[in-house]
Amino acid sequence: MSKSEIGLIGLGTMGAMLSLNIAEKGFAISVFNRTTSRTKEFFDDAGDLAQRITPCDTLEDLVASIAEPRAIILMVPAGDAVDQQIAALRPLLGKDDLIIDAGNANFRNTETRAAQAEADGVPFLGIGVSGGEEGARHGPSIMGGGRKEAWDQVGHILTAIAADYDGTACATWMGQGGSGHFVKAVHNGIEYADMQMIAEVYGIMRDGQGATAATCAQAFETWNKGPLQSYLVEISGKVSAATDEESGNAVLDIILDRAGQKGTGRWTVIEAQHLGAPIPVIEAAVAARNLSAIKSERERGEATFGAAPVVLADDALSSDDLEQALIAGKIMCYAQGFHLLNAAGTEFNWDLPMPEIARVWREGCIIRSTMLNDMADALTAAPQDNLMFAPFFSKMIEDSMPALRKVVATAITHGLQVPALSAGLAYYDAMRTGRSTANMIQAQRDFFGAHSFERTDKEGAHHGPWGS
Ligand code: 6PG
């Protein structure tokens, strides 16, 4: 029997879909799952693709069925399960056999695993895979990290299964160690922010304008035809339009307002803090999810303080205002995300391919959008520059920022929450303020801690005349 070109461990939703995708693209694949019944069920459901799939009941069988040098993808839950799987698998493998962690790993764990693999002289890749179930099945966006030789060993498979944007595969090697998983974390931070800003605008329509879910659906559908064209705006229209069969109500209206999170957005914020990179829109989005989780306290707050007087005058905000505000907020968010990637690239010596990051996000992943193509162009011209200063986006900011200011001001005046959009506006105002108020901070620091300050009129470290 001829051997498989690749193996995969972990037939949960993502692993199963990725395996079918690999088989569909013409590669023979061996699969293994901890529970054998799942492997059998997966194989039985694989239809025509089963001819390229070898189901294995043991790790030994899996290893024996793959051609050398082997490549085995792990699609198991991030965290300890990955280390346990590596520990069980590595002794069965040869020195040139490659393990690929394709889960949503914290990049710091990937760094540790990559360092261990280096020490052991064996290859290891950590790849970020985005696109959910549908993406995994038909073409995800893939962000690879690890040794270039290891990427090259499987690059032909990863690019074949990835999403395609105008003939370009959305799969790229980002750099060494945990860089692929870092880029994926930033993707997810941006995902949180995109989703939150959409939710804020939805809140203005629902609570401020009394719009039904169906009306919100129309707005999203319209915006999805303009500069905001994106997967997240598209699905926001779809979820707003859906009806609950049981109650006959809009599905959106019966979904509890408590959002879950697996942690990748939080990691982005934590890493940004470590790096001193300002990403306030993403921070606000993560905080908003945390706030959503404490529903009973919010209900207590409403009973104590009363709900905000939210009703807006009919002509207070137009659909165009909301669309433009989302455009401005989105640019601020991505400017921050790419700034964070730049900061991380410098700190960890990754030499991240900035335009390539925008390119692999154009298709397949959750944050895919038309605007990412323009970002790829801007980053090609000036890879390290803040996106705000790319002429295309400077112009867009000039055009859309008045609407963001109007939307935020109106929302805040009426007690509507717009934390991520506000953070975008505040970032813009900070970024156009050559002379900030940090002179006051420096004076205070020097006063209570003799931390010294720089002067505007001469070099050196100085102290104020505060006395002892
Ligand atoms: C993707 C997504 C995915 C993520 C989910 C849920 O790129 O396909 O980012 O990897 O796991 O979106 O994330 P949260 O549970 O943190 O919202």
pLDDT single digits (tens) 129-178 = 999 999 999 999 999 999 999 999 999 999 999 999 999 999 999 999 99
Tens digit of each residue's pLDDT (9 = 90 or more) over 26-60? 999 999 999 999 999 999 999 999 999 999 999 99
What's domain 6-177's architecture? 3-Layer(aba) Sandwich (3.40)
- DSSP-derived letter for residue 51 is G
Q: Out of 3.20.20.70, 1.10.287.610, 1.10.1040.10, 2.20.28.270, select the CATH number for domain 185-431.
A: 1.10.1040.10
- Cα 27 versus chain centre, distance: 29
Residue whose tokens read 């964070």: 340
User: In 3D, which of 193, 339, 352, 171 has the Cα closest to residue 271?
Assistant: 339
Q: Percent of the chain at pLDDT above 90?
A: 98
Q: In 32-147, where does DSSP find H-type helix? A: 36-44, 59-64, 80-89, 107-120, 132-138
Question: Any bridge partners for residue 142, and if so which?
Answer: 129, 171
Residues 6+ apart with CB under 8 A from 241: 213, 214, 217, 221
Q: How far is the centre of ligand 1, averaged over its atoms, from the C-alpha of 204 (Å)?
A: 25
User: In 3D, which of 215, 263, 253, 283 has the Cα closest to residue 107?
Assistant: 263
Q: In 349-418, where does DSSP find H-type helix? A: 354-360, 371-381, 391-413
The identity of residue 408, as a single letter, is V
pLDDT of residue 308: 86
Distance CA 264, CA 304 (A): 34
Question: Atom 17 of ligand 1 has which residue's CA nearest to it?
Answer: 261
Distance CA 409, CA 414 (A): 9
Is residue 103 within 6 Å of ligand 1 at its C-beta?
Answer: no
Residue 271 is a catalytic residue: no
pLDDT of residue 468: 66
Is residue 366 within 6 Å of ligand 1 at its C-beta?
Answer: yes
Phi then psi for residue 39, to 5 deg, are -60, -45
pLDDT of residue 199: 98
Residue extent(s) of CATH 1.10.1040.10 domains in the chain? 185-431
Distance CA 18, CA 21 (A): 5
Question: Atom 14 of ligand 1 has which residue's CA nearest to it?
Answer: 261
- Ligand 1 probe mutation, 17, 141, 191, 269, most atoms within 8 A of CB: 191
- pTM reported for the whole predicted model: 0.97
Residue whose tokens read 């690749």: 6
Q: How far is the centre of ligand 1, averaged over its atoms, from the C-alpha of 145 (Å)?
A: 19
**Residue 383 in contact with residue 336, Cβ under 8 Å?**
no
pLDDT of residue 467: 84
Residue whose tokens read 């189901």: 55
Residue 191 is a catalytic residue: yes
Distance CA 288, CA 303 (A): 20
| CA-CA-CA-CA torsion sign (364, 367, 371, 374) | negative
Question: 69 preceded by cis ω (within 30°)?
Answer: yes
| DSSP H or E run through 181 | helix 179-203
Mean pLDDT by 10 residues, the chain (468 residues): 94 98 98 97 97 98 98 97 97 97 97 97 97 97 98 98 97 98 98 98 96 98 98 98 96 97 95 98 98 97 91 93 98 98 97 97 98 98 97 98 98 96 98 98 97 98 92
Instruction: Say how many C-beta atoms besides its own lie within 10 A of residue 466's C-beta.
Output: 10
Tens digit of each residue's pLDDT (9 = 90 or more) over 368-410? 999 999 999 999 999 999 999 999 999 999 999 999 999 999 9
The residue from 24, 68, 134, 191 that is catalytic is: 191
Rounded to a whole number of angstroms, the distance between the first and last alpha carbons of the chain is: 85
Is residue 75 within 6 Å of ligand 1 at its C-beta?
Answer: no
The DSSP line for 293-346 is H-HHHHHHHHHHH-----PPPTTSS-HHHHHHHHHHHHHHHHHHHHHHHHHHHH
Residues 6+ apart with CB under 8 A from 38: 11
Is residue 40 within 6 Å of ligand 1 at its C-beta?
Answer: no
Residue extent(s) of CATH 3.40.50.720 domains in the chain? 6-177
| CA-CA-CA-CA torsion sign (149, 151, 155, 157) | positive
